[in-house]
């Protein structure tokens, strides 16, 4: 059973518990990398939708699992409410400290996580298919695999 996280982007970025590491060219990308790299969304089957106020101004992110959207002329809270209200996904988790948004999410049977709770260090088991647990391929191994695959597929 996978979860769909809907994150109030700027609300998280302004929270005192948010301590990004590294230097991203764009703070929004830094937030996505922070959440992705630390496994805050748990299972690799879970998805995350980061909602930011305003217009993208050249920023885009969608890797299939993590996606950033902007509210345009509406507020991020309004966009989040729209996503919660129209979600076909049964297991929605809204991450925000906005009281009105929290109440709205609960009324619509979405789970709610406060930002501090979401950002708290977790003991998340590393799944066997996660990138962190896969051994690094050396250049020689990649060449050997490429050669074997060519031989099988192209009958060389």
CATH of domain 4-127: 3.40.50
Contact 17, 116 (CB under 8 A): yes
- d(C-alpha 8, C-alpha 79), whole Å: 10
The least confident of 29-33, 106-110, 119-123 is 119-123
pLDDT tens string 78-99: 999 999 998 876 689 999 999 9
pLDDT tens string 34-67: 888 888 888 888 999 999 999 888 788 889 899 9
Residue 141 has pLDDT above 80, yes or no: no
Domain residue limits, the chain: 4-127
- d(C-alpha 83, C-alpha 65), whole Å: 16
- Cα 7 to Cα 26, 47, 136, 141, 153, distances in angstroms: 17, 11, 32, 40, 43
- Binned at pLDDT 50, 70 and 90, residue 153 comes out as confident
Phi then psi dihedrals of residue 3, to 5 deg: -110, 150
**Percentage of the residues of the chain whose pLDDT score is greater than 70:** 83
pTM of the model: 0.73
Q: What is the secondary structure of 11-73 as a DSSP string? A: HHHTSTT----S--SSHHHHHHHHHHHTTTT-STT-EEEEEESB--TT---B-SSEEEEE-BT
Which residues are registered as beta bridge partners of 30? none
Residue-level pLDDT at 24: 63
Phi then psi dihedrals of residue 68, to 5 deg: -110, 135
């Amino acid at each position: 059973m996978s979860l769909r996280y809907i994150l109030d982007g700027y609300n998280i970025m302004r929270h005192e518990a948010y301590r990004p590491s590294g230097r991203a060219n764009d703070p929004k990308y830094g937030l996505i990398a922070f959440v992705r790299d630390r496994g805050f969304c748990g299972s690799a089957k879970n998805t995350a939708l980061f909602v930011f106020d305003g217009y993208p101004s050249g920023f885009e992110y969608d890797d299939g699992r993590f996606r950033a959207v902007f509210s345009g002329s509406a507020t991020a809270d309004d966009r989040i409410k729209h996503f919660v209200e129209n979600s076909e996904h049964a297991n929605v988790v809204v991450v925000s400290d906005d009281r009105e948004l929290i109440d709205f999410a609960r009324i619509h049977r979405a789970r709610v996580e406060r930002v501090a709770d979401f950002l708290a260090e977790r003991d998340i088991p590393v799944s066997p298919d996660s990138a962190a647990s896969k051994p690094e391929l050396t250049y020689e191994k990649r060449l050997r695999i490429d050669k074997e695959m060519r031989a099988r597929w192209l009958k060389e």
